[in-house]
Structure 1
Amino acid sequence: MPASVSVAASARLHLGFLDMNGGLGRKFGGVGLALDAPATRLALTHADKNAVEGPESARAAALLERAQKRLGVTRRHRLAIEEAIPAHAGLGSGTQLALAVSAALRRLEDLPYDPTADAALMARGARSGLGAGLFQFGGVVVDGGRGAHTSTPPVVARAEFPDAWRVLLICDPDAVGLHGADEHDAFAELPPFDAATSGEVCRLVLMQILPALAEAELSPFGAAVTRIQELVGDHFAPAQGGRRFTSAKVEATVARLLADGATGGGQTSWGPTGFVFVDSDAAARRLLGRHGAQARQEGLDISIHRGLNRGAKIDAVYAQIA
């Protein structure tokens, strides 16, 4: 049995829901991408009583207690959070923290690894299986939505994100994406998503995004992402002040980047983080050089990222026997 376990789980982009109509018996579904950063990093060891320290410690303490109870673990633990994905920024912070805690506990207590079960156990993935799928596999993942008897929405497709491509993230630290009760209320109050629009989104994923990834063609990939973001963004606009983006400053910056050669622009989940794609590190650095100063003057954070084509990293350390 390990003496300690460390887990590193990276952020993700939620590129859009597939079907919020539900007419075929499944609802939501989605497409998402794992990023190389930011990440949640934590370490778990045995202790006389539960103790949690570091960023998001209160949230993590509740997750640790839940995981212990649901997995039937009676021993107590010390949990050290070294780094945490920013909360309520559209980067999947809550799900990745929950899955990292449960994965660490399973490994430390010699229990089977099961992110799909843990998503349900930790009350994550009510509408999306992307968090669990990306935690386990990385890359670009498509989940099949929630059916009448679904526990965690299943992964139905996965593709590698081309190594040469880059993602520029644009975040407004003064804005917060919808979450919790406000998010629940927004979904309840939004108008129906018509079947024709759902059909267009699904076609874009199956016949444009996935083939473009397979053949490393950025232009059709980006065009499909932009179109999905337009369709989904228009649907969610009533809950976002009438805009496709939570932050008007992020929206304007994304538009400038798209006009200057980037592609596939949009907002991840409820934001406020926006994104665009480019075909190389050099292209990303050129755009950052041209637009970074203005973005920072407006109080925005802008950074360059890679896709991450692997799941969370889980490492165990064993005590040496004298």
Structure 2
Amino acid sequence: MALASAGARLHFGFCNLSLSHERLYGALGLALAEPRVTVEATPADSTSVTVESDALSGAEGSGADAVRGDARDAVRAGVHDEIRADVGEYAATAVDLLDVPGATVAVRASLPRHAGLGSGTQLAATTLAVIARAHGRDPEVRERAPALGRGGRSGVGVAAFEAGGFVLDAGHPTARFTTDRPADGEWAVPPVAARHDVPDDWRFLLVRPDAEPGRNGESEDASMRAAVERAEPGLADRIAGIVTRRVLPAVAAGRAEAFGAAVASVGRLNGAWYADEQGGVYRPPVGDVVASLSASPAVFGAGQSSWGPAVYGVTDADRADAAREAGERALEAAGVDGSVAVVRAANEGARVRAGAGDVDDPDDVAGDPDDRDDPDGLDCDPDEGQH
């Protein structure tokens, strides 16, 4: 038997979406300690998947808390079936990639689905890693993630799974961009260009308004293609300056206020690329939540994680309670229900262990910072050669 657990991730945006520059994408984000996905696996002659009832409480996503009675039961049943189907596909692919007979897989906990917190990549990678550990195999998550349909644009999720921390990935050569989605496995996960441990006293406010799920699957692919094909190249030049002169120095120096302001700026500029796809710089009702949080002295910077509806705020341990209160006021001001939490970053990768026990006391983690790819560096603005 084996057990694996991985935390959510925040996605602050991309360095470039314009086809006018030599490198495309280049994502920024970081790993969170909570919430988490946890999967158990036992070697078997065939593959089966169960989803424990406790796993559904964290996976229902935005809008579920506003539903009651039979409708709530229907939501839970739908989420159960979605998770079971997804894990079934990931497990079948993992068994094939690892060349093992099968596995009995149980999902103990799951992340909020399609909320902007990386549920798909973390669930896929955790499933692969736990089946590999159950059979005594190396999961090779980075190499095998494309076969699971993950890591095609952003490398933040895979890098967060491997080693945690703040991550800036190197993106892809723009020449490889295609209007049609490549088949699973026909890409490589972008290498890590920069990684830093997140200071222990930093905290991250998570506000999840009850709203429609974020873009995913085919709708996300279509929206990304549309955004790329009309992206203004000048925005990439501005983001390059923010990343190299503000984001990276702030995280390296442990300056939470400067970091929060910088990643919020990256998010606003990314929102200009997505405005036609999501109804504004932020998708509704995220804009109202971000505006309210931005007015709080306890929140150093706020923005939308990925396609939302999750909203992040950067704060620190001394201001955590005040930030939580600001999150609750932001939901009230926006006129929506939702959830509020303050969490730490994770500076280690996913927890994976063999045998019975507590996954919070692992015998190893998924990756080590010293084992990461060592690329030439991220060219956020290839024309200027910035790294």
Compute the TM-score of the two structures, normalised by the length of structure 2: 0.76
Match of 1:314 among 328, 352, 357: 352
1:217 aligned residue: 255
Deviations 1:88-109 (A, max 9, x none): 1011101011111111122222
1:264 counterpart = 2:301:
yes
1:158 counterpart = 2:195:
yes
* 8 Å CA contact retained: 1:172, 1:247: no
Match of 1:169 among 180, 200, 206: 206
1:67 aligned residue: 94
> d(CA) in 2 for partners of 1:108 and 1:294?
44
- Displacement of 1:128: 1.0
The number of equivalent residue pairs is 312
* 8 Å CA contact retained: 1:245, 1:272: no
> d(CA) in 1 for partners of 2:23 and 2:329?
44
2:85 aligned residue: 58
Letter in 2 for 1:269: S
For structure 1, the residue ranges without an aligned partner over 5 or more in a row are: none
Moved more, 185-194 or 224-233: 185-194
SS of corresponding position for 1:89: coil
SS of corresponding position for 2:172: coil
Match of 2:323 among 287, 297, 304: 287
Match of 1:198 among 236, 251, 276: 236
SS of corresponding position for 2:273: helix
Aligned CA distance change for structure 1 residues 223 and 166 (closer, same or farther; 3 Å): same
> d(CA) in 2 for partners of 1:295 and 1:109?
46
Compute the TM-score of the two structures, normalised by the length of structure 1: 0.91
* 8 Å CA contact retained: 1:175, 1:247: no
Aligned CA distance change for structure 1 residues 48 and 23 (closer, same or farther; 3 Å): same
Aligned CA distance change for structure 1 residues 31 and 275 (closer, same or farther; 3 Å): same
SS of corresponding position for 1:8: strand
Match of 2:114 among 77, 88, 111: 88
Match of 2:219 among 171, 178, 182: 182
> d(CA) in 1 for partners of 2:349 and 2:230?
34
Aligned CA distance change for structure 1 residues 111 and 22 (closer, same or farther; 3 Å): farther
Match of 1:301 among 339, 360, 365: 339
SS of corresponding position for 1:67: helix
SS of corresponding position for 2:289: helix
1:9 aligned residue: 6
Letter in 1 for 2:9: R
Give the percent of matched residue pairs that are identical in Structure 1 and Structure 2. 31
* 8 Å CA contact retained: 2:24, 2:171: yes
* 8 Å CA contact retained: 2:293, 2:330: no
Q: State how 1:40-55 maps to structure 2 within 5 Å.
A: 40-54=37-51, 55=55
Deviations 1:176-224 (A, max 9, x none): 1011111111122225323332122122122211111111112221221
> d(CA) in 1 for partners of 2:187 and 2:126?
22
> d(CA) in 2 for partners of 1:119 and 1:90?
19
* 8 Å CA contact retained: 1:251, 1:274: no
Q: RMSD of the alignment, in Å?
A: 1.9
1:238 aligned residue: 276
Match of 1:251 among 287, 292, 295: 287
Match of 2:124 among 90, 98, 113: 98
